[in-house]
Structure 1
Amino acid sequence: MHPLLPSLAAAGLYAGATLYQGLRFGRRQAPDKRLLGLLGALALIAHALSLNLQLLPGIGLNLDFFNASSLIACAVIALTLLGSARIPVENLLLLLFPLGALTVLLAEFVPGGTSQPINEAPGILAHILLSILAYGLLTIAMFQSLLLSLQDHQLKHKHPSGLIRNFPPLQTMESLLFGFLWAGWLLLSLSLLSGWLFVDNLLAQHLAHKTLLSCLAWLVFAVLLWGRHQLGWRGHKAIRWTLAGFCLLMLAYFGSKLVREFILHI
């Protein structure tokens, strides 16, 4: 089976879910969670099928730049959909569904770089899985911080939009942000630990920048969580630290991957 059909199906379902959610927010009405969840689940199934065909074309795991982006987006949306059954995070889907549509289309239509298929031991694969889950949760935290910033700005200026009117209270939004940060930071810690245990020469030339930036991101998130616990950091300070840590983490993975695959061709 060719991945074109499931890729187009996933993009179409993501677009439909985004349109439905956006129209409901525009009318200052909450979207039907069951319908939104159904559209998201169908899109996610098509996305996963497309990824299966793209990531496993033969021997090894084809984790090039765009496939990796699509995989992380799929993981982020899956985590958010699962979480929405218990906690009020469905507003994040308005940002995540377009991200899913974009990444699945890029993975299908834009040629990848020169990344070699990964055919490694279970320890390396566990490191990759932990990294993807950590990136996924910290990506959710980044989007949550953006929505928190928007909510805070509109409430201070007393002109909340239809989107903001459907948000949980500001305190709940902030608690969700730090819940995502704690979970993402713990997974990032495990990812770095597994890298030291299983990756040969983690400070080799092609891994040094990734390792350094990942450690800096880990430190930024650690300081933020300490500041929250010890000094009561919140609001704009928490948002700025979250975005700083996320930028370092994305540079660590996608920046180094972009340079290696499309500039250095290694």
Structure 2
Amino acid sequence: MDAITGLIAFTLYLVSTLGLLLRLKGRAFFTQKPIAYLLLPGFAAVTLHSIVLYKNLIGINGFQFGFFEAASSVAMVISLLILLISIKRRTEILAIVILPIAAITLLTQSISPSSYMLPYDAPQGLKIHVLVSIIAYSLLGFAASMSIVLSLQNRMLHNHHPGGLMKKLPPLQVMEKLLFDFIFAGFIGLTLALLSGFVFLDDLFAQHLVHKTVLSIVAWLVFAILLVGRFTIGWRGRTAIRWTLSGFASLMLAYFGSKFVFEFIVMS
């Protein structure tokens, strides 16, 4: 049953992606339809994705929360964010990129055995730390994907190509404001994740956690400097894009890089 549900979710992700892509290309049938019609399969996919993920997470002795489950969780949350925003904003291009990634993570999570278990009797603080971390990574991951679109917009403007794809995107100022709203929210989440880690985990600088901790702190510093630069100097454009991508790259290495090495290399 879970396999069928996952397959339906996978298909719906691709259906929504195809509809949005054809809308972006200006196909009459899809441009004449309200955007909600094209997003509906995506919302259904996220709902089914959450059901499959939940069932896969529940193990006999604890939560099965390995590398693939973590990637699937983050991709699902980012997909939900972009679908919600796309109702009011012209952010279809982000959905076209993110929804297939969510579909792939769902597929890999469904067919791959879990490589890590969080016991049911684990401290409540540890569970809170994991949950807050996922939310923070999702918000900052969404911000990183937005910064890539902003980079594309900036390049088009500098090359004097204001038409075509540019008309399909929100104004640059709107995109930048949205970007920093998500960076700020993600930064708060990352701060809480780090604080909960220091409070509830025995030793964040233990051998198997030190790389994750150091890289997470580096990411926190990068986003902190970016936000200070934004609100004091007015950083925007390419500067904001570089700092956003640098911070998220450090965060990706901190969580998924460390998780991959620990679960598939050290523990193998």
Aligned equivalent of 1:116: 117
TM normalised by structure 1 equals 0.93
| Partner amino acid, structure 2, of 1:116 | M
Contact 1:30–1:166 (8 Å) recurs in 2? no
What amino acid maps onto 2:185 in structure 1? A
Q: Residues 21 and 85 of structure 1: is their aligned pair in 2 closer, same or farther, counting only changes over 3 Å?
A: closer
- Whether 2:3 is the aligned partner of 1:12: answer no
Q: Which moved more, 1:22-31 or 1:37-46?
A: 22-31
- SS of equivalent to 2:64: coil
Q: Deviations over 1:56-76 (max 9, x none)?
A: 132211011111100111111
Is the 2:16–2:40 Cα contact (8 Å) retained in structure 1? Answer: no
Q: Give 1:84 deviation, angstroms.
A: 3.9
Shift of 1:213: 0.5
Q: Distance in 1 between matches of 2:43 and 2:230?
A: 34
Shift of the 216–31 alpha-carbon distance from structure 1 to 2, 3 Å rule, reads: farther
**C-alpha displacement of 1:53:** 1.5
Q: Please, which of 175, 183, 186 is the counterpart of residue 184 of structure 1?
A: 186
C-alpha deviation, 1:79, in angstroms: 2.5
CA distance in 2 between partners of 1:85 and 1:67 (Å): 28
> Among 133, 146, 149, which residue is 2:148 paired with?
146
Match of 2:267 in 1: 265
1:167, CA displacement in angstroms?
0.8
8 Å CA contact 1:25–1:162 kept in 2: the answer is: no
CA distance in 2, matches of 1:86, 1:205: 46
Q: Work out whether residues 64 and 114 of structure 2, in 8 Å CA contact, stay in contact via their aligned partners in 1.
A: no
Per-residue deviation, 1:88? 5.1
TM-score (norm: length of structure 2): 0.92
Query: CA 1:178/1:30 → structure 2, altered by over 3 Å: closer, same or farther?
Result: farther
Q: Which runs of 5+ in 1 are unaligned?
A: none
**1:1-266 correspondence to structure 2 within 5 Å:** 1=1, 3-27=2-26, 29=31, 32-85=34-87, 89-113=91-115, 115-119=116-120, 120-160=122-162, 162-265=164-267
Q: Which amino acid aligns with 2:243?
A: W
Specify the code of the residue in structure 2 equivalent to 1:68: A
Deviation at 1:162, TM superposition (A): 4.2
CA distance in 2, matches of 1:141, 1:99: 16
Question: For residues 64-121 of structure 1, what are the alpha-carbon distances to aligned partners after superposition, in whole Å with 9 as ceiling and x for unaligned?
Answer: 11111001111111233334455554542112101111100111123443x2344312
